[in-house]
Amino acid sequence: MADSFVMTPFQWTADYAVGVRQIDEEHQRLFALAEKVHRAMLEGEGKAILQALLAGLVAYTSYHFAHEEQLMERIGYPGYREHRAQHEDLRSRAREMQDRLASGELTITIEVIQFLMEWVRKHIASSDCRIAAYMKKSRRWPV
């Protein structure tokens, strides 16, 4: 059994916090879901279980993106269109992966999960932090 103090590839750390409680909580949930998929892979879970877990991760990512987009609209975020386009890019890529997984063309590997989470990590560190900075600078907080 793995040591519970060992960092996993999908471990949330305070470095990912953007300073907006609800967004940070949703990001933590994304990391937890990715870790669940990762652990299932390491434990040799079957294809159906892995596909279901991945579908849950993708669904929650879409939920989170919709929430972020609503937030950006409410605060009048000037980078909304570009940020939303980034979200749509990952939604499209994730749907394509799911289709390829369902057809057997692609298998769920750590690399697939790492791609998704690396995208999320970079997105948090760049784009999501800009939303938080805008909110602080302009003093525009969601109602």
pLDDT attached to residue 5: 46
Distance between CA 58 and CA 107 in Å, rounded?
A: 16
Distance between CA 100 and CA 90 in Å, rounded?
A: 15
Q: How confident is the model at residue 55 (pLDDT cuts 50, 70, 90)?
A: confident
Per-residue pLDDT tens over the stretch 92-131: 888 888 888 888 887 777 777 778 778 888 888 889 999 9
**Residue 114 φ/ψ, nearest 5 degrees:** -60, -40
Q: Which pair of tokens denotes residue 83? A: 């940020």
pTM score of the predicted model:
0.79
Q: Can you state the percent helix, strand and coil of the chain, rounding each to 5?
A: 75, 0, 25
